Amino acid sequence: MGAPADYILFGAFDRHNLGDLLFPHLLSRWLAPARCCCAGLVARDLRPQGGHRVRAIRELARAWGPRPARLIVAGGELLDCPAWEAALMLQPPACAADLIARLDGDPPARDRWAAHQLGGGDRAPYLPSPSLFQPPARLFCQALGGVTLARRDGALGAEVLAKLAQADWLSVRDEITRQWLAGQGMPAILVPDSAVLIAELCGDLLHRHGRRGAPARLRRELAQGYLALQFSADFGDDATLDVLAAQLRPLLRSRGLGLVLFRAGAAPWHDDLAVYRRLMARLPGLPMRLFRGRHLWALAALLAGARAFCGSSLHGRILATAFGVPGLTLVADPERMSKQRAYLQTWHLGSERLIPPA
C-alpha cells in the first residue's frame, strides 16, 4: 500500500460528478500535511478527469490490517442513496438504461444485482460501517445530505441511523436533513458544503487550468461574456426545452451574451449532450458552444469565467457563488423538496426557477 495514510477519504469519487470529484481535493488540502487516500464503492482511476485513484472500500479495509483507521465520509447527498441507485450510477450510461428497463420493476432482483455489484448487502452503501475495519474505524461525516430520507424505505433510514450512531463527528449541509435526523434522536451540526472553500483551498489549480485550453479559448471567442448553462436529462422533454429556449433567447440577446452548455456530471442520471444539442437547435443564430470537456478543473474554470450560471447542478451553483458569479437554479418539481432547494433555503441563496412540468 506504500506509506500508510493518516485518513481515508470516502465518497462517490468513483463516478464522474463535479462535486464528488472535487471533495477529495478539498479535504486533502484542508488536512495537509496529513496523508490521505481515497476510497469509493468500486476501484476507479479518475485522474485523467481531474479526480483521484480510488480504491474499493471493502478491499482497502481487508488490506488495512490492525492499525487504527480514520475514515472521513467527505460530503454529498449520500445518506439517502440506496444501493440500486448507487450501483446504477457506476455503470456506463447504455448499460444503465438496459438495467433500468430489465430490473426497475422487480425490487428483489434489483437488490440482488446491486449487492453483487457492490460486494455487500448494505441498503445505504455510501455510508460505510466502521466495522469494515478491525479494529473499527473512527468515522467522521462531513457536510452530508439526505433530503429524501423521510420518503425512503424505513429499513434504509434505520441502517443510516445505526451507522451514524457510531460516528465520532456528524455534520450535515441542509436544514431538512438536520431536522429529520433530530426527529430520530440523532443530533448533527449544520455546516455549508465543503465546495464553498474551492477558491481558498484550490485556487492555484483553478488558475492554472483557467489560463489555458478550452476555458481560455471560450473567453477569447465569446469576448462579451457567456452564460454557463447545465441541466440534467430530467429536463430533456420537448415542452421543457421549448420553455428554456423561449426564456434564454431574449436574455442572451438583450445582454449580448454567448451560451456555453456543459455537463456537471457524465454518470447515469446526470447530464446528456444529446439533450443539449436539441436545445441548441431551438436557438439558431445565437453565439453558442457545446463544452464537451469533463476535466474537473476545466469545468471549475468554465464556471469561474462565466458572467452568470443557470443549471440544475447543486455544485454548479455552489461553485458559481464561491466565484462571485450570479446563479439561478433550475427545479423541475415545485411540489417536492430536492437537495438543491433544501441547500439554497438553508443558506439563503434564493433565486430558484421552477420549470413547470409538461
The full 3-state SS of the chain, as one line of letters, equals CCCCCCEEEECCCCCCEHHHHHHHHHHHHHHCCCCEEEEECCCEECHHHCCCEEEEHHHHHHHHCCCCCEEEECCECCCCCCHHHHHHCCCCHHHHHHHHHHHCCCHHHHHHHHHHHHCCCCCCCCCCCHHHCCCCCEEEEEEECCCCHHHCCHHHHHHHHHHHCCCCEEEECCHHHHHHHHHCCCCCEECCCHHHHHHHHHHHHHHHHHCCHHHHHHHHHCCCCEEEEECCHHHCCHHHHHHHHHHHHHHHHHHCCEEEEECCECCCCCCCHHHHHHHHHCCCCCCEEEECCCCHHHHHHHHHCCCEEEECCHHHHHHHHHCCCCEEEEECCCCCCCHHHHHHHHCCCCCEEECCCC
Q: Which residue has the higher pLDDT, 350 or 123?
A: 123
For residue 38, is pLDDT > 60? yes
**Does pLDDT of 1 surpass 50?**
no
Q: Model confidence at 351, in pLDDT bands (50, 70, 90)?
A: low
Using one digit for the tens of pLDDT, what is the confidence trace for 50-74? 999 999 999 999 999 999 999 999 9
Please report, to the nearest 10 degrees, the dihedral formed by the alpha carbons of residues 188, 191, 195, 197 taken in order: -140
pLDDT at 350: 60
pLDDT grade for 268, boundaries at 50, 70 and 90:
confident
Which pLDDT value is given to residue 100? 85
Report the pLDDT value the prediction gives residue 322, as an integer from 0 to 100: 94
Residue 244 has pLDDT above 50, yes or no: yes
Tell whether the model's pLDDT for residue 4 goes beyond 80: no
Residue 355 in this model has a pLDDT that exceeds 60: no
Q: Mean pLDDT, the chain, as a whole number? A: 91
Nearest C-alpha neighbor of 174 from the set 205, 147, 201: 147
pLDDT at res. 354: 47
Q: For residues 31-47, give the mean pLDDT.
A: 96
> 183-240, pLDDT tens digit by residue?
999 999 999 999 999 999 998 888 887 788 888 899 899 999 999 999 988 898 999 9
Please write the tens of the pLDDT for every residue from 316-346: 999 999 999 999 999 877 778 899 999 999 9
pLDDT value at 164 more than 90 = yes
* Spatial separation of the C-alpha atoms in residues 184 and 94, rounded to whole Å: 39
Which one, of 302, 304, 300, 273, lies nearest residue 51 by Cα?
A: 300
